[in-house]
Amino acid sequence: METYDIEQRFVELYTLGHEGPVNEAPFYLHALGFDSEPGKLGAELIAGFDEESQSDKELSKYALDLPKADHFPDNIVLIDASNDRLPTGPESFRVLEDEVKRLGIKARCHLVNTKEELLAAVDKSPQSTLVISECVDSSTYNIEVLDLLERMGVTVLPGRVTAPGSVFSNKGKTYQMLRDAGLEDLLARYVTVPASQMDTSQVVSAILDNVDKFSQDWNTRRFFVKPVTGGSGVGGFRISRTNRGYFIPDLSKVTGDALEVHPIHMDVDPRDDRRIDELLWIFSLFSSDPYYSKQYMWVNLETLRDRYDTGDDREALRQHLLKTAATQTAGAEERSLDRDRMHEKLEAAVRRYEAHFSKRYDPVFCEHIDFGAWGLRAHYRLTRRSIQLESIYARIFQLALTEEGVSYVGSDNISNKHTGVLESVRLTPIKEAMVNTVGGRTAFLDLLKKGGLAASALVATQKPELRRRIPVRCQLDIAPIDGKIGEGNADTARGQALGTRWSDFVENIREWFRDCLNYYAAQRSENEEHG
């Protein structure tokens, strides 16, 4: 067994937003959950995927092929730039520093969070500098900054394909990449709205035209509209075609008016015991904590048991879902607007968005993806063996049990927009109830394979000579119910330290770092040959 020279998790890094004893910080305790029994199932699923991927034709299509490093940089820079100040960057940096020491490399190591810090760190010796990015902030590092660094002679990894401003920074580009790879079945169907050729009113008209057209062409009445660029759900909204016109349950992410919580009904088949059991597990989790209970248990299960005269939680929730589904359908019809009134309402919201962000509303019109109660976040890396998994975890959504049924009551970002509290349930180990909802372990591995195929497609967007040289890392958000990829992120590794067993995290970072060193050495050797 390999031993790790660095200490275990550095508890002070996990205390963001916590007042009180550091060893009681929710994120620290949550991370320890991945290290112990609660994280065992996820670790088993990762191991199962990694074993299968090595014999899978598509997942092993690309593998790193680099000679061992014999030339090392004088300067190593890790870009963190985490907006949430989560511990991934500092924890990664500890492992990198330790590996530099273990390998006997005489290099200066820097952890940077801003563009100014980045440029200052490379300024003295750019041609002997290796920059490695775990960046989520495009104001710190992006395609333009990458071009500048490369002109200076800096080696930057994971490189162009993952830099902010590249494939995963633009939803239209992401979709096109997967279509070009013949992976249309991994996506919700979508069309782009050519906003650059339209004024705001015409953009809104195009959205409504698409609702009319694709409700027939795609045989669905539910759609999702979101800006081409941006994250955290900003600017997104659901829209449905009804018998009376058009229904939008909530425009707060477009208008920015988030002072009032607008519950959005979540469709759940009352006959599906697996989904009901999953919801019961989530509501049990919420009920056990005073904060989550206040935020998300607007009605408790005891009340529902009494109301429906049953002593069984599953039956009580089932009856509640049956009753509220009919009410929701009727309410959507009642609140529907005709074309003229919906155009007026939507245009007013879009103009508020454009005024606030000082940019056009440039939307992608999508078939609605049913995520259910949580999203699967999976981190992949190209290794010497194949596409491999580094981390998987669930993002339990801001989901409430209400008088109107089961409802989404906020964004899916890690902090609650209304309370300002960082909520650790946005990053939790995979549970058996979640695996069962997907259809069991085999079905869950099939879901993970879809993300692996997307990661392989990302590798394939590079020049052929780079596909076996660049140690690409990426993260995919996958909908467990519909089995579709929602979006991807490239350099970002926000959940890695929090959502991975510590020993696996250390092993992955070490291997990734050595792959980066091998690429640096190979590139320097080639430059000297051609110099």
- Per residue in 456-492, pLDDT (tens digit) is 999 999 999 999 999 999 998 899 999 998 777 766 6
Q: Is residue 55 part of a domain?
A: no
User: In what order do the strands lie in the sheet containing 399-402?
Assistant: 264-265, 405-408, 399-402
Residues 313 and 186 in one domain: yes
Q: Is residue 360 part of a domain?
A: yes
CA neighbor of 497 nearest in space, from 24, 172, 35: 35
What confidence category does residue 112 fall into, taking pLDDT thresholds of 50, 70 and 90? very high
Residues 161 and 191 in one domain: no
Contacts of 226 (CB under 8 A, 6+ apart): 171, 233, 235, 236, 237, 363, 364, 366
User: Does the structure show a pLDDT above 50 at 498?
Assistant: yes
Q: Is residue 458 part of a domain?
A: yes
**pLDDT attached to residue 388:** 97
In this prediction, residues 414-433 reach a mean pLDDT of 82
**pLDDT attached to residue 1:** 39
Tell me the pLDDT tens digit for each residue of 44-92.
Answer: 999 999 999 999 999 999 999 999 988 999 999 999 877 666 788 899 9
Residues 296 and 310 in one domain: yes
Beta bridge partners of 110: 77
In this prediction, residues 323-347 reach a mean pLDDT of 87
Report the distance separating Cα 174 and Cα 187, nearest Å: 10
**pLDDT attached to residue 411:** 67
Residues 100 and 240 in one domain: no
User: Does the structure show a pLDDT above 60 at 531?
Assistant: no
How many domains would you assign to the chain?
2
Percent of the chain with pLDDT over 70: 94
Looking at this protein, which amino acid is placed at residue 268? Answer: V
Of 410 and 311, more confident: 311
Residues 242 and 105 in one domain: no
Tell me the pLDDT tens digit for each residue of 163-190.
Answer: 888 887 766 778 888 888 888 888 888 8
The domain of 128 spans 1-35+66-166+499-531
The 10 Å CB-count burial string (b at 16+, else e) for 484-502 is: bbbbbbbbbbbbbbbbbbb
User: Does the structure show a pLDDT above 60 at 309?
Assistant: yes
Residues 210 and 351 in one domain: yes
Q: Is residue 279 part of a domain?
A: yes
Residues 157 and 244 in one domain: no
**pLDDT attached to residue 488:** 76
CA neighbor of 8 nearest in space, from 26, 27, 28, 38: 28
Residues 230 and 258 in one domain: yes
Residues 214 and 291 in one domain: yes
User: Does the structure show a pLDDT above 80 at 203?
Assistant: yes
Q: Is residue 41 part of a domain?
A: no
Mean pLDDT (the chain) is 89
Can you give the length of the chain in residues? 531
Residues 159 and 177 in one domain: no
In this prediction, residues 316-320 reach a mean pLDDT of 95
Report the distance separating Cα 332 and Cα 149, nearest Å: 53
CATH number at residue 515: 3.40.50
Whether the CB-CB separation of 78 and 118 falls below 8 Å is answered with no
**pLDDT attached to residue 87:** 83
Whole-number CA gyration radius for the chain: 24
**pLDDT attached to residue 23:** 81
Q: Is residue 52 part of a domain?
A: no
Taking CA atoms, 388 is separated from 80, 108, 420, in Å, by 22, 30, 35
Q: Is residue 40 part of a domain?
A: no
In this prediction, residues 506-527 reach a mean pLDDT of 92
Residues 295 and 178 in one domain: yes
**pLDDT attached to residue 258:** 58
Q: Is residue 482 part of a domain?
A: yes
Tell me the pLDDT tens digit for each residue of 367-400.
Answer: 888 899 999 999 999 999 999 999 999 999 999 9
Residues 138 and 249 in one domain: no
Report the distance separating Cα 252 and Cα 244, nearest Å: 23
